[in-house]
Amino acid sequence: LDFGQSIAVISSNAYVTGQTMSSNFPTANPIQATCSSCSAGDAFVTELNPAGSAAVFSTYLGSAALDEANGMGVDSLGNAYVAGDTASSAFPTANAFQSTFGAGPYDAFMAKISLTPTAAPSPSSLNFGSQQIGSTSTPQPVTLSNTGTAVLNITNIATSGDYGQNNTCGASVAAGGNCTINVTFTPTVTGTRTGTLTIIDNAGNSPQTVNLTGNGTGTGPVVSLNPTSLTFGAQGVGTTSASQQVTLSNTGTAVLNFTSIVASGDYAQTNNCGTALAAGTSCTINVTFTPTVTGTRTGAITITDNAPNSPQTVNLTGNGGAPVVNLSPTSLDFGNQQVGSTSGAKAVTLSNTGAAALNITSIVASGDYTQNNTCGTSVAAGTNCTINVTFTPTATGARTGTITITDDASNSPQTVNLTGNGTTGGVGGAIGFVQAHGNGANATSNTVVMNTSAGNDVIVVVAFGSTTPRVTSATDTGGSTYTLIGAVNTGTSARTEMWAAHGVAASTSVTVNLSTLAKSQVEVAEYSGVGALGLSTSNSSANANPTVTLTTRSGNSWVVAGFGEKNATTFSPSTGNLRDSGSFTATTTVGAAVNDNTAASPSSVTNAVTINTSGSWGAVAL
* Residue 308, preceding peptide bond in cis (omega within 30° of 0): no
Average pLDDT over residues 561-587: 76
Pairing mode of beta strands 208-217, 125-132:
parallel
Predicted TM-score of the model (pTM)? 0.38
Instruction: Write out pLDDT tens, residues 38-48.
Output: 889 999 999 99
CA 510 vs. chain centroid, Å, equals: 33
pLDDT reported for residue 217:
84
**Of 70-84, 102-116, 310-324, 535-549, where does mean pLDDT reach its minimum?**
535-549
Average pLDDT over residues 585-597: 74
pLDDT reported for residue 540:
67
Answer yes or no: are the C-beta atoms of 428 and 339 closer than 8 Å: no
Is pLDDT at 115 greater than 90 in this prediction?
Answer: no
Is pLDDT at 164 greater than 90 in this prediction?
Answer: yes
pLDDT reported for residue 212:
97
pLDDT reported for residue 426:
40
Candidates 1.10.150.120, 3.30.930.10, 2.100.10.30, 2.60.40.10; correct CATH number of 325-423? 2.60.40.10
Is pLDDT at 599 greater than 80 in this prediction?
Answer: no
Looking at this protein, which amino acid is placed at residue 510?
V
**Of 134-138, 330-334, 480-484, where does mean pLDDT reach its minimum?**
134-138
Is pLDDT at 195 greater than 90 in this prediction?
Answer: yes
pLDDT reported for residue 514:
96
Task: Give the integer Cα–Cα distance in Å for 14 and 53.
Answer: 11
**Domain assignments of the chain as residue spans, ordered by start:** 2-113, 119-217, 223-321, 325-423, 430-621
pLDDT reported for residue 542:
59
Q: Give 113 or 493, the one with higher predicted confidence.
A: 113
In this structure, how many other beta carbons lie within 10 angstroms of the beta carbon of residue 551?
A: 14
pLDDT reported for residue 218:
76
Answer yes or no: are the C-beta atoms of 366 and 401 closer than 8 Å: yes
Average pLDDT over residues 317-321: 90
Average pLDDT over residues 380-399: 92
Average pLDDT over residues 120-139: 91
Is pLDDT at 176 greater than 50 in this prediction?
Answer: yes
The reply to whether 119-217 and 223-321 are identical in fold is: yes
pLDDT reported for residue 149:
80
pLDDT reported for residue 581:
84
Number of continuous H segments (helices) and E segments (strands) in the chain: 0, 48
pLDDT reported for residue 531:
66
What lies within 8 Å, CB to CB, of 99 at 6+ separation is 93
pLDDT reported for residue 191:
87
Q: Give 519 or 543, the one with higher predicted confidence.
A: 519
Is pLDDT at 311 greater than 90 in this prediction?
Answer: yes
What lies within 8 Å, CB to CB, of 480 at 6+ separation is 344, 458, 501, 503, 504, 505, 507
At 388, is the pLDDT very low, low, confident or very high (cuts 50, 70, 90)?
very high
* Residue 123, preceding peptide bond in cis (omega within 30° of 0): yes
CATH top class, domain 223-321:
mainly beta
Mean pLDDT of the chain, nearest integer:
87
pLDDT reported for residue 77:
74
Question: CATH number of the domain at 119-217, please?
Answer: 2.60.40.10
At 425, is the pLDDT very low, low, confident or very high (cuts 50, 70, 90)?
very low
Instruction: Write out pLDDT tens, residues 136-150.
Output: 899 999 999 998 888
Is pLDDT at 563 greater than 80 in this prediction?
Answer: no
Task: Give the integer Cα–Cα distance in Å for 433 and 526.
Answer: 6
Is pLDDT at 396 greater than 80 in this prediction?
Answer: yes
Pairing mode of beta strands 223-226, 244-250:
antiparallel
What lies within 8 Å, CB to CB, of 97 at 6+ separation is none
Instruction: Write out pLDDT tens, residues 427-455.
Output: 334 678 889 999 989 999 999 999 999 88
Is pLDDT at 622 greater than 60 in this prediction?
Answer: no
